[in-house]
Every structure is written in C-alpha cells, then in structure tokens.
Chain A
Amino acid sequence: MRTTDSTRWTGALRALSAAAAWLCALAWLAPLAYALWASLHGAADETRFALDAPWTLANFVDAWHAAPFGRYYVNTVLLVLGILVVQLVLSTLAAYAFATVPFRGSGIAFWLVLVQLVIAPDVLISENYNTMAKLGLVDTLAAIGLPFFASAFAIFLLRQAFKSVPKELDEAAEIEGCSRLLRLWKVYVPLARPTYVAFALVSVAAHWNMLLWPIVVTNRPESRPLTVGLAIFAGQEAGVSWSMLSAATVIIIAPLLVAFLVFQRQFVQSFMRAGIR
C-alpha cells in the first residue's frame, strides 16, 4: 500500500507532467501564433514583440494583390466540393453493393478497390500526367479532381456502416415494396449519416491541402488551387517580405482554421471515426 511519501512523489510527478503538457502545447501553437503576429504587423515589428507595436492589415492587402488569390480560392472551393460530391455518390453505390449484394466476383472487386488504399493516385504522378495529357485535361480543375472521384477509403468506411444496419429494417422496407435502390436511400444512407459527416470533413481537409498532384497537372493561375498559389508565392526569390508571406499563409488557412475552431468536436470525432476500425 502507498505511503504518504509516495503520494507526495506522485503529486510532484503529476505537476511536472502538467507543466510538460503546457510547455508542449505552447510550443505546438508557437508557429501559428507567430505567423499571425507577423501577418498583422509591419516589417519592422515582425520579430519585435511589443504589445504597442502598431497593428496593420496592409500585409493582407499586399499579398492579396501580389497573386490571384481570389481565383485560387474559387478553384479550391470548386475542386473540394466537386470531389466530395462525386466521391459520396460513387462510394455509396459501391459500398452498398459490397455490403448487401452477394454478387459473384465481389471479393476480387473489393481487393481491386483496396489497392487504392495502399497506392494513392497522387503517387503515380508521371503516368497519370500522361493520361491527363491524352485526355486533353491538363490545366483544368477536372484533371486535379478526376483521380480522386473514387475513394477506397470512403467505400471501406461506408461498407462497414451499411453492414451494421439491422437486417430487420431492410426486410421491413422490402416487404413494403421498396426497391433495392430506394432502400439504400431510405434506410441505409440516413443511418450512415455520422460516417458521411466524418468522411466529408476528412475529404475536404485532405483535398484542400493537396499540393503535389495539382502542381504537376496545372501550369496556369486559372486552374491552380490555393496550395499551389502559396507554394509559388513562397518560392519567389525577391519581392516577398516575411510579413506578406505570413499574411498569404493566413489567407489560405483561415477558412479551415475557422471551420475547425467552430466544429472542433465534430472534426476530432470525424478524423477519429475515419481512422478507426
């Protein structure tokens, strides 16, 4: 049994652990806090942390005019939503088949789908670029999105969700004369709502953030998403101050960050649900 000595010892350890936790958290937030500070101050104050340093929005104005961020924004939003909608439709159909239809060859089909979990299309940049060139799609948003229209991940998650739907519900709907597709719409999809929300958040975050494939397949500002815009902006040798780069960074992360802060719990749960099982 414990002595008072060991309780004191664990008490000290606990305090130490809490201190470490806070230190770690502050270290984790520091880069972001720093970027925010630099973006809101003039070049002279970007590393001088005086509270009376004058605040300014000039960096945002400069950054916004230095590159077509408006266009990039529209592209990213269209891209992310387009991918999500197609993914949801295609994956729902496929997952429904895998979960409820005992069809011949379903095992092989499922394995083929799972290959995409291991080899993501954005790893195969060289050959996929050639395909897009042959399709005449280079420099379009469609080219960026097309390889992601099918999602092994979504199919996998939804299949699990559909499998956990009670058979009685399905049978009851069948007796009422619901066709297979109608049952999908009326019984399965509503019950899998949490999975949809989880996947949607993960998908939006993932495609909002992707860089390599868009860099490969686009050359003109008209078809570039935000991430490529920022990479090019950061890569300029001259004419971009740190304050401006910080402002550009904040411009790009703001919507995600705000969405995250508002739907924090939802986000964490979604990322979690998406990963587990």
Chain B
Amino acid sequence: MSRTSVIAAGAAAVPGTAAARARRDTIGGWALVAPSLVVIAAFTLYPVVLSLVHAFTAPRGGVTLQQVHAMVDDEVLHKVFVNNLVFAAVTVPASIVIALAMALWVNGKIRGRAFLRLAFFTPTVLPMVAAASIWLYFYTPSYGPIDRLLHVFGLPGHNWLGTPETALPAIMVVTIWKEAGFFMIFYLAGLQNMAPELEEASRLEGASAWYHFRRVTLPLLMPTTLFVMVVAMTASFKQVEHIFVMTRGGPDNASSLLLYYIYKVAFTFYDEHYAAVLTLVLVATLLLLAFLQFRVLERRIHYR
C-alpha cells in the first residue's frame, strides 16, 4: 500500500468524510448500472419515445392527428383487438385451471408421477414455431390426425385453420397446450411450500378434500395464481409466433392479434407512422395490465 492510499483509507474511516463516501458510492453505483441502462434506454425507452413522436407527426413532417383518426376508423384494428381480448379471456383462465389440475395430480400420490410431470412440461421447452408446425399438420383438412379421428367416429372433417370461426380457437388450443405445463410448475412450487400440517388439521377436523382445497389450498395459492395471470396475460399480447406459421392472421384477419397486425403494418404496408400508433396501443395495454396486476397483487397479499 502506498502512503497516499493509507491516508485515504484512514480518512474514509473518519465520520466527517461520509459525504465523500456517498459521492463515491453514487459514482460507483451508476457506473455499475450504466451498461444495462444504456441497452434498456436504447431498445426499450427510446423506441417508446420514438413511437410517440411518429404517432403524432405526418410522414412529411408536422404535427398531425391523422394516424389517430385512421386508428379510430380502422375496422381491422378493432377486429384484431377484439380477437386479442377473446384470446386472453379464453387462454388465460383455461391454462390456469389446467395448470392447477396438473399440479394437483403431480403433487399427489399418483402412479407414474415423474412421467406425468414430464408429459405436461415438455411442450414448454419447445419453440412455439415448432409446436405450431406440428399442430399445422394436426389441423390439416381431411388428411390431418384430427379429421382422421373424426372420420373414425363417422363425423365430417373441417378446415380448422381456413374457417373464420375456428381459426382463432384452433390457435388458442395450441397456446393452452404449450403454456399449461409452464404454469403447472409454479403451482407445484406453491403446493410444495405448503405446510403438511394444514392438510392434517383439515383431516382431523373432518373436512372433505374438496372443502380443504377450496378453503385452504386455493386461497394459499392466490399469490401464485396472480403471478401466473400476469405472465399469461402479458404473453397473450406478446406471442404471435403461432400465427406466423399457422394462419398468417387469416382468413380475413379472423386469427390476427395486435402484435401481428403491427408487424403487417410496419413490414408489409411499410406504414411506419401508423405502426407507431398501434405500438402505443400495445404499450399502453401492457402497462395497464402490469399496473392492474400490481394493484391486485398488493391488495390480495395484504388482506389475505
């Protein structure tokens, strides 16, 4: 150690230099955080600001509400947004219920537990593109396994992905299939963290298994449920891979979702400014979801 640093070390121990230490901490802290912040600023914060600018300016310059008006009149956007809401309203509760059932099965004393867990979880590790291309095959009219199965029972086949009424539901099935196993593990963790005394107490009190599940297990799993809801809702607005492979949004936008529509506007119609408004809608939706979930999460945990 050199003379000066010995003095510096001595000085640092003196209470009078707390301010110096605080300054050093602040510089050091920001230096450590800077690399991550720069990336986040460049690819998350800046694009949001840029979207704001593009949304309210005309392609040839000047402030305008042209894009906002276009959005209000855009029937495709309305359709796509409703699609997205339906998509979330069906896939989120469905995957949550299935995930909970899976977790209860795998957590209980059941034959072939390890195998069941493996079966449920495997779709989670697959890329959505791969899952979608497998299901594409399943849905093939008259030739695919689903229609073949229907034929066995004497039922007519159906063009699942080519019919407006069934295109979106068909994609929802794939989503539920892929996501349920992922959510299962969170429930499984929740169940395993539960004190075994609880179940014993219920049994001693003569409570039925259903009563125990409804009044003890389910409330205790509430934080898990809310967490899973956050993840699932957000995913329903961010996931479009299956649409790329299975329907490309068709027929007639019946299976298009918001982000896929943004992709089309930005990279097929090359309308950067309109894409910016749509991006803001998506960002606002995601922020609102996060905010709602955060509030609900806070309340539930306090009042439990």
Residues of chain A whose beta carbon lies under 8 Å from any beta carbon of chain B:
1-2, 10, 17-18, 20-22, 24-26, 28-29, 31-32, 34-35, 38, 47, 90-91, 93-94, 96-98, 101-106, 109, 112-113, 115-131, 146-147, 149-152, 155, 180, 205, 208-209, 211-212, 215-216, 226-227, 230-231, 234-235, 242, 245-246, 248-249, 252-253, 256-257, 260-261, 264, 267-268, 271-272, 275-276
Contact = CB atoms under 8 A, between A and B. Distances in A.
B266 A231 contact: no
Contact of B282 (A123, A246, A275): A123
B206 A126 contact: no
B145 interface: yes
Contacts of A234: 129, 132-133, 136, 245
B126 A276 contact: no
Given A113-B37, A216-B267, 8 more contacts: A21-B110, A109-B33, A124-B47, A129-B266, A152-B40, A155-B36, A257-B122, A264-B118
Given A125-B263, A230-B129, A24 B47 contact: no
B93 interface: no
Interface string B119-147: 11111111111111111111010010100
Interface residues of B, number: 93
Interface in B217-241: 227, 231, 234, 238, 240-241
SS of B interface (majority): helix
A227 to B, nearest CB: 5
Pick the 7 closest A-B CB pairs, nearest first: A103-B29, A127-B47, A150-B39, A97-B32, A147-B43, A209-B127, A25-B119
Contacts of B48: 119, 124, 127
B56 to A, nearest CB: 14
B279 A22 contact: no
Contacts of B50: 127, 130
A205 B125 contact: yes
A211 B181 contact: no
B43 A272 contact: no
A90 B36 contact: yes
B32 A94 contact: yes
A106 B29 contact: yes
B186 A28 contact: no
A10 B109 CA distance: 14
B134 A31 contact: yes
B126 A271 contact: no
A124 B279 contact: yes
Contact of A271 (B45, B135, B182, B238): B182
B39 A90 contact: yes
A5 to B, nearest CB: 13
B148 interface: yes
A253 B30 contact: no
B100 interface: no
A256 B245 contact: no
B198 to A, nearest CB: 19
Contact of B133 (A24, A28, A245): A245
A259 B30 CA distance: 38
14 contacts: A18-B105, A34-B145, A94-B35, A101-B32, A104-B22, A105-B29, A112-B37, A112-B45, A113-B33, A119-B48, A124-B44, A248-B133, A257-B126, A272-B189
